[in-house]
Amino acid sequence: MISSLGDLCRSFTDSLEDAIVVLNTKSPFLEVGDQILEMAFAYLEDGVVFYKKDDPVNAMAAWCYGYGWLDAGIHLGLITTSSSSFPDMIDLRGTIPTDCIEKLEEKTIRYRMMLSDAFLAVDDAPDASSPLYPHCGLIREVVAKWKGSAEAFYIQSDAASALGSYSYAYGWLDAGVRSGLFRITGDRHLFTA
């Protein structure tokens, strides 16, 4: 269980340390795997920069979002790592200092709305007969599961765990767009595409 920002950063760093793209050079998905891994590393680094600038709210959000990218890449068979993925149950309550609570609340509300809008702004890209099509449903299920967890945390006034869950779910959805499983039908600014 992750109970501190240090634990979250270490867990994410450990997962990325030996992560590799597992496709051969002739696969059209090699570039997708490379981009997903690149995004995960970028969000690890962003989180470290935020943390060093005494911004634990954005550090936590970046690490959880990056973890979503990594785990989506693992699930899609594009990336492998020997370390475990994001824990099924996170408890980030108390990890954000009290002087950052206002920022945490604001960011949690904003990410709650952004994820809801993003979820409605995509359609499945592959034809229903494609072997890729079932993965669209699986990614939607993961996003819905973590969005549901975030909502439960939000109702319990645990904004840190809510933001972590929203961010993780958003990473999965964004990786689904980047991998070509979803096409954007709404606001493109909600995605890194």
User: Pick the residue with more confidence: 48 or 85?
Assistant: 48
* Rounded Cα gap, residues 97 and 1, in angstroms: 19
Contact 57, 163 (CB under 8 A): yes
> For 135-163, what is the mean pLDDT?
96
Q: Is this structure's pTM higher than 0.85?
A: yes
Express each pLDDT in 22-56 by its tens digit.
Answer: 877 778 889 999 999 999 999 999 999 999 999 99
> What does the pLDDT read at residue 21?
83
User: Pick the residue with more confidence: 2 or 183?
Assistant: 183
Q: At residue 72, does pLDDT exceed 60?
A: yes
Q: Spell out the residues 6+ positions from residue 59 whose beta carbon is closer than 8 angstroms to its own.
A: 5, 9, 47, 48, 50, 51
> What does the pLDDT read at residue 2?
58
> For 147-162, what is the mean pLDDT?
96
